[in-house]
Amino acid sequence: MLASMDARVTLAEVDRRLADLYGDPQPEQHEPLDLLVRTILSQNTSDRNRDRAYASLRARFPTWEDVLGATPQEIADAIQGAGLHKQRAERILSVLQLIVQKQGALSLDFLRNLTPEEAEQWLLSLPGVGKKTAYIVLLMGYAIPRFPVDTHVARVTQRLGVRPASGEPHAVLAPLIPQGRQLPLHLNLINLGRQVCVARRPRCPQCPLPDLCDYVMAKADPRLRANLRAGETSAVLVRRGDGVQTMRPDREELLAILSDPMVHSVEASGTLSTKEVA
């Protein structure tokens, strides 16, 4: 785990490289209330299940007034694909009811007239709405600089070593994000998490970040990590599932070796025992 200054520098470089790879992506345009319901549907389920359930909900109930007039069972039937559909149906219904009770209309447009802090607190006061959901609505619906941490962002930032496994991730990451880069960095970390840094077996050989990543660098002994930082090369001992091998790779080759899922550890030659060198 990096100190916060190092983590800030690392995240700035991560942002730069991911922007080179994916560009500055633009999110799909949704009304803030659509974003809120869509994000409630995404809690603890896959992106695919969320998209399917949301499309089914909108097909069955074209307006939020239609959803408000439906029974929990009818809503649950429409969002079955999302899992926990009865619980989610009740949550969506109570959120819509509360918005009408508090604001007299089924819309979140009034949030524009609040300060960012007030808008955040208002969203967090809704049942079942935590920081991830509130921040997605604020960032994508109102361009308010908040950094939502979903499952992909949480996994990638932990593997990179810019945040610890424990602790509230929004509080840890918010001060580390380069100014004004919340949206593209959020979307690009999701892209990386979906396509490369996947949950089960990260595809490190395809990743542009191995030299910045704790998950990869943990395989290198401390002396080798120091050499890499200093731009120096050395002979190394590579331990794979099928044996050990001595090599003298250049920097790019060494990063490829460290990214190889079959490699368990790599040591600088000076740390090898006499027996191993022989």
Footprint of ligand SF4 on this chain (CB under 6 A)? 156, 159-160, 196-197, 202-204, 207, 209-210, 213, 215-216
**In Å, what is the CA distance from 233 to each residue of 47, 131, 209, 224, 257?**
42, 44, 19, 8, 13
Residue 102 appears among annotated catalytic residues: no
Least CB distance from residue 118 to ligand SF4, whole Å? Answer: 36
Cα–Cα distance for residue pair 161/193, rounded to 1 Å: 15
Classify each residue of 34-62 as buried b or exposed e, where b means 16 or more C-beta atoms within 10 Å of its C-beta: bbbbbbbbbbebeeebbebbbebbbeebe
CB of 140 to ligand SF4, least distance (A): 24
- For residue 59, CA distances in Å to 53, 62, 93, 96, 147 come to 10, 6, 17, 18, 31
Whole-angstrom distance, CA of residue 127 vs CA of residue 141:
19
Least distance in angstroms from the C-beta of 225 to ligand SF4? 14
Contact 89, 76 (CB under 8 A): yes
From the list 102, 131, 132, 275, the catalytic residue is: 132
Nearer to ligand SF4, 32 or 202 (CB): 202
Tell me the catalytic residues.
132
